[in-house]
Amino acid sequence: MKKIIVPIVFLISVSLVAQKQIQEIDSIINSKLSDDDPGLFVGVIKKGKIIYEGYKGLANLQHKVKIDVNSRSNIASTAKQFTALMTLNLALEQELNLEDDIRKYLPQLYPNVKDKIKIRHLLNHSSGIRDYVDLMSIQQKPWWKQIGMDNDDVVDNLLAVQEDLAFKPGSRYMYSNSGYTLLTKIIEVVSDKKFHEYSEKFFKNLGMKNTTFLKNYMHVIPYQALPYSDWGNGVWQQYPMMTNLYGDGFLFTTLKDQLIFEQAIQNAQFNNNQLLIESQLPIPNSEITTYGFGLELEDRLNYKAVHHSGSTGSYHSQTIRFPEEELTIFVMSNNSKLWSGAIADEIAKLFLPKKEVEFSYDERLETVSNNLQKYQLLGQYLSPDNYLIRIEEKDGKFTWRNGNNNPIELSKEKQNLYSISYNHKLKIGFFDTEMILFYPTGKSIVYAKLPNEEVTLADLESYVGQYYSKELDVRFSINYKNEKLSISLNGFNQAEDLEVLNKNELLVFDYILKIERDKFNRVTGILLTTNRVLNNKFIKK
């Protein structure tokens, strides 16, 4: 009799635990929105089985239509994994090679670039190809205002006219939607099919019958959850979505389809599905190991994880896979007041015991100088990627500042050793000629201290002039008047003051302007950097 009672008791206890977790997920969801708010979709897969599938809120506020199993939402950049999956599939079928130069398929691109731009560089954002969204922001043309703009427009009008790359392919990581736009074109060339035709068949083979990339913003998408934002005034407004972009995002799908896919991922080893198995790993031969086939490969909540987020207008989503725990959380929403990533983490914590990581700092942490005075730590430091960091003191606060980002307060731990105030695990050590940022994982970044250089009146006057980017067809002018340096750019309502950081770097809003000079030290141009685009060349006229 005992042999029968024990497993029954065990099953009852497991069932009670599962029921408690379901109630806790319900509680989390109910705390985020009301039934009359734009919606939230949540799914949880454990050991290959769906243990939670939840819907709350509205797909359409105008007609009070609730989201349900049929509702389709836009998962934005979380869609990149599917464009990557199609590319990997073609590679496994030997239709292409990830080591191929993209000019094998798109010969019109970057004729002046001698370095090989490999397909795998597009997949993990290491190509140096600038992000089209931020290129358009420099042009003062927000993407969402470009009615009917599609992938052809991006390639022909923005990428094909670029004469150089932001950096040498493979030398660094910088997220770029452009890479995934180009992958859609490569898929078309290799498959000899239109991308939408190829992708729709691909999704059907995955069992995802209600998933499709956007074709035309005017087309009716059955059961579409419309995107809504509240810009702080308590009034919901529908976010305008009038482009025809696809591949880097703009994938409309149901929660049910996403859960079908997540089950396939969890069961891939059991089914020996090489496509899905390889899609969760780093790209072979890649210099970048923290991003793979449209997926981030860095730990989350101190657990090994494969994940990606997406955000387009009011739409957003998050996939988090914990492969060793056989746990997946998927969240998507048409409500801009929520954030899928935070909700997914909150739900994941219900299933994952809190885990402390053993710290393993770089041994140089123990050699931090103790003979420098606080005033000697102040100044400017240059990162290996040429980003300028300023260590400043104002109103009694010792801070770290990058560009026009808000200053981050530093907390003193001991002489010349500080930590980030909101994360004391991140340490900053000061040495005679450098500063080192120490991570608890053992990673460290060395910043070289720059010498103090006085900016003279002659320097200020040398910046004055007209500057032009041929690739972007954008002009701006720098003026010096009433002891102030200012910049006028088309789209600015008025001239804006320029902050002079040093002789070779100016700052306005989130634009970093780096001065270029000839061998006679004359200013010949400016390299403009903002967000996901680096070193856009403007020639001084």
Residues linked to residue 40 through DSSP beta bridges, in sequence order: 56, 333
Q: Could you give the CA distance from residue 400 to residue 390 in angstroms, rounded to a whole number?
A: 6
Output the pLDDT for position 250. Answer: 97
Amino acid identity for residue 196 in this structure: H
Q: Could you give the CA distance from residue 141 to residue 132 in angstroms, rounded to a whole number?
A: 11
Residue 9 has pLDDT above 70, yes or no: no
Residue 14 has pLDDT above 50, yes or no: no
CB-based contact 63:385 (threshold 8 Å):
no
Q: How far is it between the farthest Cα atoms of the chain?
A: 96
Output the pLDDT for position 280. Answer: 98
Strands (DSSP E) found in 15-168: 40-46, 49-56, 58-60, 65-66, 73-74
pTM of this structure: 0.93
Q: Could you give the CA distance from residue 363 to residue 284 in angstroms, rounded to a whole number?
A: 31
Q: Could you give the CA distance from residue 126 to residue 27 in angstroms, rounded to a whole number?
A: 41
Give the mean pLDDT of 116-139: 97
Output the pLDDT for position 3. Answer: 41
Output the pLDDT for position 101. Answer: 98
Output the pLDDT for position 8. Answer: 52
299 alpha carbon, distance to own chain's centre = 16
**Could you tell me what percent of the chain has a pLDDT over 90?**
89
CATH T-level assignment (fold) for domain 457-540: Lipocalin (2.40.128)
- Both tokens assigned to 492: 């600015």
**Could you tell me what percent of the chain has a pLDDT over 70?**
97
Residues linked to residue 316 through DSSP beta bridges, in sequence order: 311, 333
Which CATH architecture is the domain 363-449 placed in? Beta Barrel (2.40)
- Both tokens assigned to 18: 């599962």
Q: Could you give the CA distance from residue 298 to residue 374 in angstroms, rounded to a whole number?
A: 35
Output the pLDDT for position 370. Answer: 86
Output the pLDDT for position 17. Answer: 60
Per-residue confidence band for 5, with pLDDT thresholds at 50, 70 and 90:
very low
What is the chain's length? 541
Output the pLDDT for position 16. Answer: 59
Output the pLDDT for position 13. Answer: 45
- Both tokens assigned to 344: 């997914």
Output the pLDDT for position 90. Answer: 98
Residue 150 has pLDDT above 60, yes or no: yes
Mean pLDDT over the full length of the chain:
94
Task: Name the CATH superfamily housing domain 73-351.
Answer: DD-peptidase/beta-lactamase superfamily (3.40.710.10)
Residue 404 has pLDDT above 60, yes or no: yes
Question: Between these two residues, 20 and 345, which has the higher pLDDT value?
Answer: 345
- Both tokens assigned to 89: 């599939």
Output the pLDDT for position 231. Answer: 84
Q: What is the pLDDT of residues 186-238, one digit of tens each?
A: 999 999 999 999 999 999 999 999 999 999 999 999 999 999 999 888 899 99
Tell me whether the CATH fold assigned to 73-351 matches the one assigned to 363-449. Answer: no
- Weakest mean pLDDT among 7-11, 255-259, 351-355, 452-456: 7-11
CB-based contact 444:426 (threshold 8 Å):
no
Output the pLDDT for position 356. Answer: 77
Q: Where are the domains of the chain?
A: 73-351, 363-449, 457-540
Strands 388-394 and 397-402: antiparallel
Output the pLDDT for position 15. Answer: 58
Q: What share of the chain is helix, strand, coil (3-state, %, to 5)?
A: 30, 30, 40
- Weakest mean pLDDT among 52-56, 198-202, 350-354, 525-529: 350-354
Output the pLDDT for position 526. Answer: 98
